[in-house]
Structure 1
Amino acid sequence: MNKIYRYGLGLLLLVSVKVQAQNQVIDAIIKEANENSQLEVLAHELLEGVGPRLVGSPQMQQAHDWAVSQYKSWGISARNEQWGEWRGWERGITHIDMVSPWTRSLSGMQLAWSPASPQGGAQGEVVVLPDFADSVAFQKWLPTVKGKYVMISAPQITGRPDYNWEKWATEKSFEKMKEARSAADIAWQERLRKTGKNRQALPLALEEAGALGIITSYWSRAFGANKIFSASTKKVPTVDLSLEDYGLLFRLAESGKKPQINLNAQSRETGVQPTFNTIAEIKGTEKPDEYVMLSAHFDSWDGGTGATDNGTGTILMMEVMRILKEVYPNPKRTILVGHWGSEEQGLNGSRGFVEDHPELIDKIQVLFNQDNGTGRVANLSGQGFVDSYEYLGRWMNKVPREITADIETSFPGNPGGGGSDYASFVAAGVPAFSLSSLSWDYGTQTWHTNVDTYDKIVFDDVRSNAILAAILVYMASEEPVQVSREKRIPLNMRTGEPTEWPTPRSPNRRGGLD
């Protein structure tokens, strides 16, 4: 009896010591994150020192090199791994000036991979794509665009977002506006359809007919925000104008005032460029060949500086690695972080990593990815892994309640087939989870827009996410055994029949080159 008592007491003391040590590390994580945060510095250096990170651009390469250097300054091993090649392109200045019927400098920018204007720009009349009877009428009209700029986007009924209308308009007025907007959108889609060309082919037809350039406007339904993507033209520039200035030119052209602009959009092709992922690691001590992963894509579109897509995810993961190196320098398992290239064109960097490292896939304990903005983590899905609730629930229980109180969970959930880089790993059977954030009007205000900039970051929310992610990684590293990978095959909600688990897909390793 005495012997059993002593054994029980020893076991209790062992558990108590382990819990106490665990709490000390967690307390140290919280203290380091709150008292020595590097988030603001990292954001400034990445977003404003380097700038936007369009795949194939010099800034993308500069970002990779900066990250490796930053990690090494913290004593963390880091490297750039090539996974493919991309069409190289560098943005230059964009000056758009209306010179008739009066003078005004317009707000707009060249789209990614757009050809340049002649040096000093080119002046020409601006015309609106007419409403043709059919594609035959479009072909007859085409020769008239020679020497002119052609507007191919729908004008907006209003430049006020819906939330502004809801605040100030009468209900009747608001409904009237929405009906008019819907009708105008449908009418413009029909106008485009009657050309016989899709959105990619129409600009090509216009440039072949001698147009000086293409003018678009892709409003994001928020004040001052436009989506900025890529051009399909091969010879002449494509620019996106702000809603306000696009509407001005459109109305002048429609009323017969024949506005003219001088467009000087400079850019240059830089040939075939290598594309990389940046990988950093803190080597494990007891199980160095098992891994806990952090994940965030490094590239961005270049309308703004990619602050919330995905600068915040990038600096979050860098800060987590810095914190863990400081307070947990000898983890049980190796802690890896992947900063992926070309997520925006189809998860290419992370798909390349999965395809190039089959030896790692079965040894990844879990992966945590963050990609959708600056807000506090608000949603966590089990991604179809049957036992995800058991281990994620235990680990999250160690996170301060004020951080986890408002996180909605879905277990076991369904596997993500796309959307961000965690899906590349889920398809390969890795328990990979998206730390999904509060909106902060991400979809309209900053996602792929010209105003996705440093000032939109909510650093208190990112700091909260750093604490959450660091504790989850620490707990996953300390977990005695590898977590279960048992999957629940999702059901088709319409038929009730089982579907299939997502399958790994190969990356595009020659973007814009084939």
Structure 2
Amino acid sequence: MKKLYTLLLLIIFWIPVLAQDAVVESIVQEANENSQLERLAHEMLDVIGPRLVGTPEMKQAHDWAVAQYGKWGISAENEQWGTWRGWQRGITHIDMVSPRRASLTGTMLAWSPSTGKKGVTGEVVIIPDLPDSAAYANWLPNVKGKFVMISMNQPTGRPDYNWEEFATEESFTKMKEERESAEANWRSRTDKMGYDRRSLPKALEKAGAAGILMSNWSRGFGVNKIFGAYTEKIPTLDLELEDYGMLYRMVEYGDKPSIHVLAESEDLGEMPTFNTIATIPGSEKPNEYIILSAHFDSWDGGTGATDNGTGTLVMMEAMRILKKVYPNPKRTIIAGHWGSEEQGLNGSRSYVEDHPEIVENLQALFNQDNGTGRVVNISGQGYLHAYEYLGRWLSAVPRDITRHIETNFPGVPGGGGSDYASFVAAGAPAFSLSSLSWSYWNYTWHTNRDTYDKIVFDDVRNNAILTAILAYMASEDPERTSREKSVLPVNPRTGEQREWPSARKATRRGGFPDED
């Protein structure tokens, strides 16, 4: 009888363990054998394209996501949280027409005004080096009808790693010194004007310039950062380094280059903005929540593939897998696809403000938003006992995934950077699944090269498996996660005790020139 009793205890103990193993195995199998990542990436990135807040493409993406979730039997909706300046990009052609003819490569910045269908032709000039703001005020009328270059001319289009590989040490040192000197001289030149990066384009526009030319080089071959325009009537264009440098040299040598710009866009007025929220209801604890988090919007220099198309794909694929192999979670699982993260975490901050009951009962949030790479770091975000529950959950993840991951406990709370910070500021257990770089900061973060071909699908697939298993384990955990905060360390830069980040209000109406 004693042996039988022992056997029964073993059976009772092992049944849930075996059941858990079966779910984990099913998650891995579904992800590897029936992945939808490539199809979803094509539809979102190639067909819909970039997802700039306030654009029709952003709304199209929201509607597409709701439809996808519906096909998987998952309830989803677009939840409006505010309004934004509506704008749609049109066709852009930039051509040098003198001293020779050549098509140039560049991008009209987001929210840039249109040239109209006939385009604009004008001479190209650079900002001269003058002694003071009075001299610049006297010079300003000279920009009338001309395109003004407002970025420094880079001495090299080769990234530093290329110099390190091939240059002599003396040559590399010389180049860096020349670049530093050029940067200092350019800062001095613009400082003497009395304008900053926002006010300078507006001053040139007021003086009658035909357009603004810049080149926000990202320290990589053929790659520039693409952000938004500050002009209201004339176009602002970012030229790739090679063409920008050529025009700059022509101006310096007195060749008087002229360009013709056709840059069409449409101002759409005030447009509604949304978060897409998908939900798998909990069966035992429906009022406790796990959130799979990724911002849906992007800048529109490329198609937003790694910022944050890949994070979006991870969360959508994890939800699809969970619905198929774990359709009745104990806790409610939500996917939050946030809008306007790029302008200040506005979608997630709005959600935190609008849904305090979910924030209060959040078991865990997992956010992914720094590129296509496999997850390599998870921080406890300052929660004293995060190592206990995250450790339990990670133990269920296959070793070939967790062997790449370093953990940092208790860590320090993130004050910004991505949407998990909106929840951390509210005291909720939210965690960033931080990825391997894959040259993210130079080559794809907010650049013209953030496109489908940069996705590493093996890494994204691993991240979907990781996320699905973490969500499953968080749902099954019999314990609520602790929110006890650690004593934060001293900031070595200030020598002062770090403080927990405070919640910031979302911008509910944005993008309009009078509000910049």
TM-score category, normalised to shorter length:
over 0.9
- Partners of 1:394 and 1:195 lie apart in 2 by 59
- Partners of 1:140 and 1:312 lie apart in 2 by 50
Q: Provide the secondary structure at the position in 1 that maps to 2:89.
A: strand
2:491/2:498 contact within 8 Å kept: no
Query: How far off its partner does 1:361 sit?
Result: 1.1
- Partners of 1:187 and 1:315 lie apart in 2 by 44
- Tell me which residue corresponds to 2:502: 503
- Partners of 1:81 and 1:493 lie apart in 2 by 38
- Tell me which residue corresponds to 1:104: 102
- Tell me which residue corresponds to 2:355: 357
Query: How far off its partner does 1:12 sit?
Result: 2.3
Q: How does 1:104-253 map to 2 (within 5 A)?
A: 104-253=102-251
- Partners of 2:253 and 2:164 lie apart in 1 by 31
1:396/1:404 contact within 8 Å kept: yes
Q: Give the alignment partner of residue 45 of structure 2, picking from 44, 47, 55.
A: 47
The one-letter amino acid paired with 2:18 is Q
Query: How far off its partner does 1:137 sit?
Result: 0.4
- 158-167 or 307-316: which moved more? 158-167
The one-letter amino acid paired with 1:29 is I
- Partners of 1:384 and 1:98 lie apart in 2 by 55
2:87/2:267 contact within 8 Å kept: yes
TM-score under structure 2 normalisation? 0.98
- Tell me which residue corresponds to 1:334: 332
Query: How far off its partner does 1:10 sit?
Result: 3.0
Which runs of 4 or more aligned residues in structure 1 lie more than 4 Å from their structure 2 counterparts after TM superposition?
A: 5-8
- Partners of 1:234 and 1:243 lie apart in 2 by 25
Q: Provide the secondary structure at the position in 1 that maps to 2:217.
A: coil
Q: Provide the secondary structure at the position in 2 that maps to 1:97.
A: strand
- Tell me which residue corresponds to 2:280: 282
1:489/1:501 contact within 8 Å kept: no
Query: How far off its partner does 1:119 sit?
Result: 2.2
**Structure 1 residues 308 and 24, CA, compared in 2 at 3 Å: closer, same or farther?**
same
CA RMSD of superposed structures (Å) = 1.1
- Partners of 2:337 and 2:241 lie apart in 1 by 34
Q: Provide the secondary structure at the position in 2 that maps to 1:220.
A: strand
- Tell me which residue corresponds to 1:79: 77
Q: Give the alignment partner of residue 475 of structure 1, picking from 458, 473, 476.
A: 473
Q: How does 1:292-371 map to 2 (within 5 A)?
A: 292-371=290-369
Q: Could you report, residue by residue, the CA deviation over 1:351-372 in whole angstroms, capped at 9, with x for unpaired residues? A: 0000000111111100000000
Q: Which runs of 5+ in 1 are unaligned?
A: none
Query: How far off its partner does 1:87 sit?
Result: 0.3
Q: Could you report, residue by residue, the CA deviation over 1:387-440 in whole angstroms, capped at 9, with x for unpaired residues? A: 111111111111111111121111000000000000000011111000000000
1:316/1:466 contact within 8 Å kept: yes
1:282/1:334 contact within 8 Å kept: yes
Q: Provide the secondary structure at the position in 2 that maps to 1:305.
A: coil
2:491/2:497 contact within 8 Å kept: no
Query: How far off its partner does 1:488 sit?
Result: 1.1
- Partners of 2:119 and 2:315 lie apart in 1 by 42
- Partners of 1:496 and 1:213 lie apart in 2 by 46
- Aligned pair count reads 512
Query: How far off its partner does 1:493 sit?
Result: 2.6
Query: How far off its partner does 1:103 sit?
Result: 0.3
Query: How far off its partner does 1:100 sit?
Result: 0.2
Q: Provide the secondary structure at the position in 1 that maps to 2:223.
A: coil
- Partners of 1:249 and 1:496 lie apart in 2 by 48
Q: Provide the secondary structure at the position in 2 that maps to 1:435.
A: strand
- Partners of 2:259 and 2:170 lie apart in 1 by 39
- The sequence identity of aligned pairs, in percent, is 67
